[in-house]
Amino acid sequence: MRKQCVVVALFLLTIPALADQITLKNGDRLTGSITKSDGKELVIKTDYAGDVTVKFDAIQAITSAGDLNVSLGGGKTVFGPVTTNGDNVVVATKTAGPVEAPKASITMLRSPAEQAAYDKSLHPGFAEGWNGGVNVGFALTRGNSETKNLNLAFTATRRGFRDKLILYTNSVYATNDLPTASPHTTANTIGGGARYDHDFAPRVFGFVNGDFYHDSLQNLDLRALFGGGLGWHAIKTNATTLDLLAGVNYTHESYSAFFNPPTPPNVLVPAVTHSLAGLTLGDDFMHKLGKSTVLTQTLSFYPDLSNTGEYRGTFNLGLVTKINKWLGWQNSFGDIYVSDPPTGKKKNDLLLSTGLNFSFAH
């Protein structure tokens, strides 16, 4: 019985030694599992308070029971249990023995699980790493007016260590159901596309993109654009990003034949097909307004190189305010401008929509 008590006591005394521990300059101690640090803050997972984040410069000493990945100044990375010796950190590596460096030189510190998650984020599977949302807006009237309006939009972004893939689509359908209404369909557009970015340097990236657009009331059967070029990360922070883009594109568009009222006899406007080369100029902006609201803006300008003086432009402005983790309220404004539309058609198509946003992450 006496031996059993001694064994139990020794076991209980070894439990703290199996955990990581940090000692703060004010004398406080935290015991748990060190998760990660970026050299400015350190996160330790405790049994009594969950994840606790402390300022790195407030730490006096570190002792890890297990191995940690540590990045030091000059791009050097070592792996092993970590202790401190005054203002230095000591990593007991298995291959090179103890490695000692100033504590202030630490730029990264991760547990094996955190390191594995980080490595996976650099090279995710194609079905992984996606973030995006679905916007839904619907309006219905009955009585003196009988109308329907449906707006659907979808965006998805997959970010890697040096690349980004964006998928997007938007559609608007509206009708006036009164028997005397002409036309009954008052809006019928659908557009979408994809853009792939790859960073060549911290600020410079290349991109390729494809865009497709259909507008029934403009008799635009299909406009297909394929392009590419270079971009510049003018602003790149967690709260704000601004990318500037410049490149070239090839556009093919086809308009179907239609009768142009109202003066009789109706004039038949023949079908038209264009194939042209153009420039791609634009920007892509995002800014977080507080913790729950995100403002986005994109501008694309396409001067026609085949017919000098003609051009197209698209402008989109969006605002999404989160209600909870997956639900938000969205407002958007869009403008599509064509300098040389078919006879009888207007140059501008404006869209203002509001509705719910359903966000997702995978």
Q: Write the pLDDT tens digit of every residue in 186-198.
A: 889 999 999 999 9
| Residue 32 near residue 45, CB atoms below 8 Å | yes
Rounded Cα–Cα distance for residues 158 and 131 (Å): 6
Task: Pick the more confident residue, 8 or 299.
Answer: 299
* Domain termination site, one of 122, 142, 161: 122
Q: Which two tokens stand for residue 304?
A: 């026609």
pLDDT confidence of residue 264? 59
Q: What's the CA gap between 198 and 160, in Å, rounded? A: 9
Count Cβ atoms within 10 A of the Cβ of residue 317 and give its class: 0-12 exposed, 13-18 middle, 19 or more buried: middle
Where among 122, 155, 175 does a domain terminate? 122
Side-chain-facing half-sphere of 325: CA atoms under 13 Å: 2
For the cut 50, the answer to whether the pLDDT of residue 11 exceeds it is no
- The answer to whether residues 109 and 135 belong to one domain is no
Cα separation, 68 vs 250, whole angstroms = 51
The one-letter amino acid code at 94 reads K
* CATH number, residue 310: 2.40.160.40
Per-residue confidence band for 161, with pLDDT thresholds at 50, 70 and 90:
confident
Q: Which of 175-184, 208-217, 306-315 has the lowest mean pLDDT?
A: 175-184
pLDDT, residue 342, reads 83
pLDDT at 73 over 90: no
> Residue 129's pLDDT band (boundaries 50, 70, 90)?
confident
Are 181 and 220 contained in the same domain? yes
- Say yes or no: 311 and 201 in one domain: yes
What whole-number distance in Å separates Cα of residue 345 and Cα of residue 265?
18
| Range 165-173, long-range pairs (CB < 8 A, 24+ positions) | 165/194, 165/195, 165/196, 165/197, 166/194, 166/195, 166/196, 166/197, 167/132, 167/192, 167/193, 167/194, 168/192, 168/193, 168/194, 169/193, 170/334, 172/351, 172/353, 173/148, 173/149
Q: Do 135 and 118 sit in the same domain of this protein?
A: no
Strand-pairing partners, residue 283, are 244, 299
Asked if residues 135 and 156 have their Cβ atoms less than 8 Å apart, the reply is no
pLDDT per residue as tens digits for the range 24-34: 999 999 999 99
pLDDT above 50: residue 109: yes
Mark 192-218 as b/e (b = at least 16 C-beta within 10 Å): bbebbbebeeeeebebebebebebebb
Identify the residue with better confidence: 291 or 210. 210
The whole-model pTM stands at 0.72
54 shares its domain with 34: yes
For residues 65 and 81, the answer to whether their CB atoms sit within 8 Å is yes
Residues 309 and 342 in one domain: yes
Q: How many domains does the chain have?
A: 2
Query: Do residues 103 and 164 share a domain?
Result: no
Average pLDDT over residues 73-86: 87
Place of tokens 């340097």: 201
Question: DSSP letter at 323?
Answer: S
- Residues 321 and 263 reside in one and the same domain: yes
Residue by residue, DSSP assigns 86-139 as TTEEEEEETTTEEEEEEGGG--EEE-HHHHHHHHHHHS--TTSSEEEEEEEEEE
What integer pLDDT is reported at residue 15 of this predicted model?
Answer: 43
Domain that holds residue 149: 130-361
195 with 54, same domain: the answer is no
Q: Model confidence at 18, in pLDDT bands (50, 70, 90)? A: low
Query: What average pLDDT does the structure give for the chain?
Result: 88
Tell me, what's the pLDDT at 2? 55
Last residue in a domain, options 68, 91, 122: 122
Coil, strand or helix at 298: strand
Please indicate, yes or no, whether residues 260 and 351 belong to a single structural domain of this protein.
yes
Answer yes or no: are the C-beta atoms of 123 and 161 closer than 8 Å.
yes
Q: Give yes or no: residues 90 and 207 share one domain.
A: no
